[in-house]
Amino acid sequence: MFKWDTLIINANIATMAEGAHAYGMIDKGAIGILNGRIEWLGTTAGITNSIDTLAKEVIDAQGCLLTPGLIDCHTHLVFAGNRSDEFEQRLNGVSYQEIAQNGGGILSTVKATRAASFDELYAQSLPRLQALMCEGVTTIEIKSGYGLNLEAELKMLNVAKKLGEENNIRVKTTLLAAHAVPPEYRHKADDYVDLICTEIIPKISVLGAADCIDAFCESIGFSHAQTKKIFDSASRWGLPVKLHADQLSDLGGAALVAEYSGLSADHVEYSSLKSVKAMAKAGTVAVLLPYAFYILKETKLPPIEAFRKHHVPIAISTDCNPGTAPSSSLLTTMNKACVEFSLTPVEVLTGVTRNAALALGIEDEVGSIEFGKKADLVLWHCKQPADLCYWQGMNRVKRIFTARKND
Ligand SMILES: [Zn+2]
């Protein structure tokens, strides 16, 4: 009778454990895994029994880096259609406005997503998920927001759930019905907000289709007052909130989501010091999205020094979406976080592990290598954690371990 299913020895383990110094490294570390949980953690030298008798499978990591499975905590991965033509048009001098007037932009994705069948939507989204999984992503958040009516939002959320069920990846779903005003509600945004609050959120809650409620609080999205209404409805239906906040201007979105003890405020380039303090007090995570920052050629940096000073946890995510972040590479995003935002590699790795778990409210289960947590792990063809941020165009994943669904 073996003690564990799997024993990994001689791994350079970046535990990313809370309170540990920097990466929480264990040199020549060892991990015993049973039923998808971390049952033992220590040094290889600390194993006194004969190794072969301890586990069904013994893996000698030969000094390679072992990290928690990566977590992409903000994506719009489920959508139909393709907007590379708009990318090309813009580079040929056509303005955003002209593109929107010709039916482009977010509403073109809405049109394609509404028209796609469940199976078409699944098939189009799957390669994006697979690309992220190849880079060691073991947990992902997927938002709705291109359906903009109950039926199509639900279709997106159900596709996201099915992606998780069929691909051995943990999926958390977020309702983002307040992503844009749908064409049939043009100039009637308040009526659409009413529909979200009185029909969409209640139905989604009853069906258990989403783990969280999100909105796009911005001059080109939804106002502070409209967002508040949506959060009130979410609270009534017992769902946690997060927010696309202060991306292009300071509407006080980050402070608003903190007021509701929200899981995260995302983008936050324009957040004020007052908002940063409110986030610190509420424990709201700052989710930074450097890929969108890069694509939009933004220049206003998020208040990173203030986040550090006030101990606001920082997470990093791809923002994978067809408009402002056409990317299914978390590793590229990690490099961008270092270069665009001057975050350190330890901040970035924390941002795609422990703090990303915090942004999804699942920090008790995943995000660090600690006794009792799920054994979502990645073994890499490198020794140092900084390699993951440093070199581009090289996928160093050697092996991915994922806890089974029922573990
Ligand atoms: Zn987003």
351 alpha carbon to ligand 1 midpoint, in Å?
Answer: 16
143 alpha carbon to ligand 1 midpoint, in Å?
Answer: 8
pLDDT at 96: 76
Helices (H) and strands (E) in the chain, counts: 16, 15
The predicted-structure confidence for 143-152, as pLDDT tens digits, reads as follows 999 999 999 9
265 alpha carbon to ligand 1 midpoint, in Å?
Answer: 11
215 alpha carbon to ligand 1 midpoint, in Å?
Answer: 9
Provide the 3-class DSSP secondary structure of residue 147.
coil
402 alpha carbon to ligand 1 midpoint, in Å?
Answer: 26
The answer to whether 262 and 284 are in contact (CB under 8 A) is yes
Sequence-distant (≥ 6) Cβ neighbours of residue 407 within 8 angstroms: 35, 36, 37, 374, 375
Tokens describing residue 151: 């039926």
pLDDT at 49: 80
Provide the 3-class DSSP secondary structure of residue 214.
strand
16 alpha carbon to ligand 1 midpoint, in Å?
Answer: 26
83 alpha carbon to ligand 1 midpoint, in Å?
Answer: 16
41 alpha carbon to ligand 1 midpoint, in Å?
Answer: 36
pLDDT at 220: 87
Is the torsion defined by CA of 332, 333, 334, 336 positive or negative? positive
**How far apart (Å, rounded) are the C-alpha atoms in residues 63 and 85?**
46
56 alpha carbon to ligand 1 midpoint, in Å?
Answer: 43
pLDDT at 19: 85
309 alpha carbon to ligand 1 midpoint, in Å?
Answer: 26
- Kindly give the pairing relationship between strand 4-14 and strand 55-60: parallel
179 alpha carbon to ligand 1 midpoint, in Å?
Answer: 9
- The reply to whether the predicted model has a pTM over 0.85 is yes
pLDDT at 405: 61
**How far apart (Å, rounded) are the C-alpha atoms in residues 261 and 174?**
16
316 alpha carbon to ligand 1 midpoint, in Å?
Answer: 12
Distances (CA, A) of 390 to 14, 24, 116, 334, 382: 16, 19, 39, 9, 11
182 alpha carbon to ligand 1 midpoint, in Å?
Answer: 17
Tokens describing residue 382: 């490198």
Average pLDDT per consecutive 10 residues, the chain (407 residues; last block may be shorter): 93 94 95 96 91 92 98 98 93 86 88 98 98 98 98 98 96 98 95 98 98 95 97 98 95 97 97 98 98 94 98 98 96 98 98 98 98 97 97 95 74
176 alpha carbon to ligand 1 midpoint, in Å?
Answer: 9
72 alpha carbon to ligand 1 midpoint, in Å?
Answer: 12
187 alpha carbon to ligand 1 midpoint, in Å?
Answer: 23
Provide the 3-class DSSP secondary structure of residue 403.
coil
pLDDT at 103: 80
296 alpha carbon to ligand 1 midpoint, in Å?
Answer: 13
Q: Which residues pair with 266 in a beta bridge?
A: 244, 287
Residue whose tokens read 């959120």: 201
323 alpha carbon to ligand 1 midpoint, in Å?
Answer: 10
117 alpha carbon to ligand 1 midpoint, in Å?
Answer: 23
Which domains are delineated in the chain? 4-68+369-401 (2.30.40.10), 70-360 (3.20.20.140)
